[in-house]
Structure 1
Amino acid sequence: MGKIPPSFRSAIANPNLRNPSSLFRPQPHHFPNKHQQPRKPSKQQQKPSSLPLFKSPNLEDAKKLFNSIANSSSDPRFPNSLLHSYAKLATTPSDSIKFFNHITKTLPSFSPDRSTFHILLSHASNNSNLLSPIHQTLNLMLAAGITPDTATADVAVRSLCSAGRLDHAVELIKEFASKHCPPDTYTFNFLVKHLCKSSTITTVYAFIDEMREKFDVKPDLVTYTILIDNVCNGKNLNLREAMRLVSVLHEEGFKLDCFVYNTIMKGYCVLSRGSEAIEVYNKMKEEGVEPDLVTYNTLIFGLSKSGRVTEARKLLRVMAEKGYFPDEVTYTSLMNGLCRKGDALGALALLGEMEAKGCSPNACTYNTLLHGLCKARLVEKAVKFYQVIRAGGLKLDTASYGTFVRALCRDGRIAEAYEVFDYAVESKSLTDVAAYSTLESTLKWLRKAKEQGLAI
């Protein structure tokens, strides 16, 4: 943090202050040239500066503290800094407003500005299930001759959304649009995105339609992209609805960008519908939209998942021609496709090609190969990959852990299976219950198989 001005030195001794320097913004660092030795920071500079200004949310303590340092600085930002610091600790928004009123009465020279009220609004949803603190703040703002604007609406809406109060955010944004000003596209799209996460798509559509009809707030390309992303992801995957939204985009004169196409392709790929993903890719090129690395990785993932690994590998050449080079995601998708087809050795060969081209495998790569090798009954090679995972401190995913434990038990290597269980728990790859449940069910299966003469 920056240095404390001389006028504040008296405040440092105040026992109610934890960290007075947090009132100020960091000063720019001055880097020494190569002939200078960097100065070692003093002990005072090395102290952490993230602690709050006030020790307690008690309003009376805050007032006393303010009274003791009210005239310590002529910096116009000083009251706002104190207000912000206290508002973060205040038990209720009402206490923050009372502290604000105390500041204005105690310090007549203080003239609250827009940022002052935005501080109150940003904390107005804390520990409250009512909109009254926000209304009270807006009334104080109007009384001070400051008209709420789009930035004001944004601060209030984001505060409510962060507190999970989406119904109140919707109510407030409508109120703003009717009394003050309609929200800008940033605030509108922010709220749409949050609604998509927690509400039905029908509810989101109803909100968008009402904002358009009553307040002339129209959805833009970003809005439709949020909607398409929502219907293409998660459990309620609805590609028909995604394509309908694409038609609406065209009707309203928007040109789809790469992100929209990639999102739709990903939806088809999740369903292992590689042919439809290719159709979207071709449509994308027809519309003059240049594919990016995500496009190619998405297609390779989808084709590999559909068992069309040969076609997926051909895209590597297309990528290189367009200036995009395969990364760990590309190679891991291809390895997954090869392992699905039972060609674990082909996946191993691809790992060699990957490393030869300077692309480093990641935890997902190793887990994919571990799973594939176990499925192919190549236990010794699987053990080697497990050792790589362990040596690198990487996590085991659920599928590879379960498959590996079963492969070891089937091979009669019970002690090694227990060791893998220990590592899974120690590395927090799985919860204790999940890891033990998998091991226990495998051992039960093994005992039953031995009784039936199906295992040695």
Structure 2
Amino acid sequence: SSSSSSSSSSSSSSLITSPSLSNAKTLINALASNPRTPTDPQFHNSVLYSYSAIAPLDDALSLFSYMLKSLPSFSPDRSSFHILITHSCKSGSPLRAVDFMASHGFAPDPATADIAVRGLCISGHEEDAVDFVRELHSKHSVTPDRFTYNFLVKHLCKSGSMSRVYGVIDKLEKWVGLKPDLFTYTILIDNVCNGKNLREAARLLSELEKKGFKPDCYVYNTIMKGYCTLSLGNEVLRVYKQMKEEGVEPDLVTYNTLIYGLSKSGKVKEAKKYLAVMAEMGHFPDAVTYTSLMNGMCREDDVLGAIRLLGEMEAKGCSPNACTYNTLLHGLCKARLLDRGMELYGVMKAGDMKLEPGTYGTFLRALCRDGKVAEAYEVFDYAVESKSLTNVTAYTTLESTLKWLKKAREQGLAV
């Protein structure tokens, strides 16, 4: 046990905390002359890692060479060079570290490319990552694999315009022969749907089919969700039918998206039909399915129908969640069915469910309108206690609701 404790004390003191190269070399000399210095590669790599993390690349390379010369037990492996490459990405120039690795007899491979591309993207050097792929290919004949390529495309989607992303895709095909696959198209479709550009999503869908790829369930679900954000229920239904025609089997997410899209665009009756369809196909409606329908029903002022659906849902063994109760409480307050709302709120409290900000505001307004100011304060306490809202937001909402009520009363307005 004494030897293990001395080895651990020596390894903790060996982590370099100053970017000074001369200090680092002094530490290496001390390690070289200490017979208790661990000789395993992991120890040497941890020393190298601690210095590379804080020093400029030139100094890290110098220390590496110094360790080779001064520490006979230092026998670098591929991971030793990958440490240098990882840290060189912060300055946007991993190619020098890759060349250094190659000069020591370790040829870069797709794993090297992956470390550099990810490191550059995470450090915000996406453009450098694109150039790096080209240079690595021309200098070392290494091409990144599909995972690295798609990681780069995904990162470019987050940080720039689609025209720039398409430009990079074209360049990479021309430079290194990398082409988009189905996963690439999924990333692109996901991105344009998030930006509500459904026309572009449709174009990408037809392009991927022309290239011989068969869109899967995830691609169709993504496009359906995009149309949901625009409340275009008919389009959601059209994509669902197209998917069926193409022989792609819908999953639970497909049905939930379809029901949500139809309910959101005022087609609740049609949405309800799909409860039976999905169950027939072996996908049983869950809390998300029922809550979407309830939301649509409340929008159409059929809150009692939504409450009946809650009973139906529970009878089928499906447990409502906080989102379900928030939807119903909001609907009951808007329909001025406050007693039912209070009952439902009691169930929520018993289950420690959080109030959503919109529901909280509507509930307070309904209580104050009914003269139940003490109850409104109690709801405020619960909202804070359950961390549904921050204290400030909860209090500001309560204060503005009480002001609204006072003003309306003074002006003799019906509330």
Q: Normalization by structure 1: what TM-score? A: 0.82
1:315 matched residue in structure 2: 274
Asked if structure 1 preserves the Cα contact closer than 8 Å seen for 2:192 and 2:200, the reply is yes
Q: 1:83 aligns with which of 44, 48, 51?
A: 48
Residues 334 and 149 from structure 1, CA distance in 2 versus in 1: closer, same or farther, beyond 3 angstroms? same
Matches within 5 A, 1:199-210: 199-210=160-171
Cα distance, 1:311 vs structure 2 = 1.7
2:189 matched residue in structure 1: 228
Q: Which moved more, 1:413-422 or 1:275-284?
A: 413-422
Counterpart CA distance in 1 for 2:99 and 2:36 is 28
Counterpart CA distance in 2 for 1:97 and 1:386 is 65
Q: 2:77 aligns with which of 113, 119, 122?
A: 113
Asked if structure 2 preserves the Cα contact closer than 8 Å seen for 1:7 and 1:72, the reply is no
2:360 matched residue in structure 1: 401
Residues 147 and 429 from structure 1, CA distance in 2 versus in 1: closer, same or farther, beyond 3 angstroms? same
Counterpart CA distance in 2 for 1:123 and 1:303 is 50
Cα distance, 1:74 vs structure 2 = 4.8
2:231 matched residue in structure 1: 272
Asked if structure 1 preserves the Cα contact closer than 8 Å seen for 2:384 and 2:390, the reply is yes
Counterpart CA distance in 1 for 2:365 and 2:296 is 22
Counterpart CA distance in 2 for 1:69 and 1:365 is 67
Residues 250 and 393 from structure 1, CA distance in 2 versus in 1: closer, same or farther, beyond 3 angstroms? same
Counterpart CA distance in 2 for 1:440 and 1:226 is 45
1:244 matched residue in structure 2: 203
Cα distance, 1:253 vs structure 2 = 0.8
Residues 448 and 216 from structure 1, CA distance in 2 versus in 1: closer, same or farther, beyond 3 angstroms? same
Aligned residues between the structures: 410
1:354 matches 2:313:
yes
2:6 matched residue in structure 1: 10
- What is the identity, as a one-letter code, of the residue corresponding to 1:220? D
1:124 matched residue in structure 2: 88
- What is the identity, as a one-letter code, of the residue corresponding to 1:199? G
Q: Could you say which structure has the higher helix fraction? A: 2
Q: 2:136 aligns with which of 176, 181, 193?
A: 176
1:161-211 CA distances to partner (integer Å, 9 max, x unpaired)?
222332332332333233232322111110111111121111111111111
Q: Normalization by structure 2: what TM-score? A: 0.89
Cα distance, 1:103 vs structure 2 = 3.0
1:158 matches 2:118:
yes
Counterpart CA distance in 2 for 1:94 and 1:439 is 60
1:261-316 CA distances to partner (integer Å, 9 max, x unpaired)?
11111111221211111111111111111111110110011111112222222211
1:5-34 CA distances to partner (integer Å, 9 max, x unpaired)?
x974531344x628xxxxxxxxxxxxxxxx
- What is the identity, as a one-letter code, of the residue corresponding to 2:79? S
2:346 matched residue in structure 1: 387
Asked if structure 1 preserves the Cα contact closer than 8 Å seen for 2:68 and 2:74, the reply is yes
- What is the identity, as a one-letter code, of the residue corresponding to 2:137? A
Aligned residue for 1:17, secondary structure, equals helix
1:148 matched residue in structure 2: 108
Asked if structure 2 preserves the Cα contact closer than 8 Å seen for 1:17 and 1:54, the reply is yes
Asked if structure 2 preserves the Cα contact closer than 8 Å seen for 1:409 and 1:446, the reply is yes
Residues 378 and 54 from structure 1, CA distance in 2 versus in 1: closer, same or farther, beyond 3 angstroms? farther
Counterpart CA distance in 2 for 1:387 and 1:425 is 16
Counterpart CA distance in 2 for 1:143 and 1:178 is 16
Residues 111 and 88 from structure 1, CA distance in 2 versus in 1: closer, same or farther, beyond 3 angstroms? closer
1:403-432 CA distances to partner (integer Å, 9 max, x unpaired)?
111111211222322333333334333344
- What is the identity, as a one-letter code, of the residue corresponding to 1:349? R
Q: Which moved more, 1:251-260 or 1:311-320?
A: 311-320
Counterpart CA distance in 2 for 1:119 and 1:89 is 9
Aligned residue for 2:88, secondary structure, equals coil
Cα distance, 1:433 vs structure 2 = 4.0
Asked if structure 2 preserves the Cα contact closer than 8 Å seen for 1:176 and 1:183, the reply is no
Structure 2 residues without counterparts, runs of 5 or longer: none
Cα distance, 1:333 vs structure 2 = 1.0
Structure 1 residues without counterparts, runs of 5 or longer: 19-52
Q: 1:442 aligns with which of 401, 411, 414?
A: 401
- What is the identity, as a one-letter code, of the residue corresponding to 1:164? G
Residues 216 and 321 from structure 1, CA distance in 2 versus in 1: closer, same or farther, beyond 3 angstroms? same
Counterpart CA distance in 2 for 1:153 and 1:355 is 53
Cα distance, 1:111 vs structure 2 = 2.8
Asked if structure 1 preserves the Cα contact closer than 8 Å seen for 2:32 and 2:71, the reply is no
Counterpart CA distance in 2 for 1:258 and 1:446 is 50
Asked if structure 2 preserves the Cα contact closer than 8 Å seen for 1:11 and 1:69, the reply is no
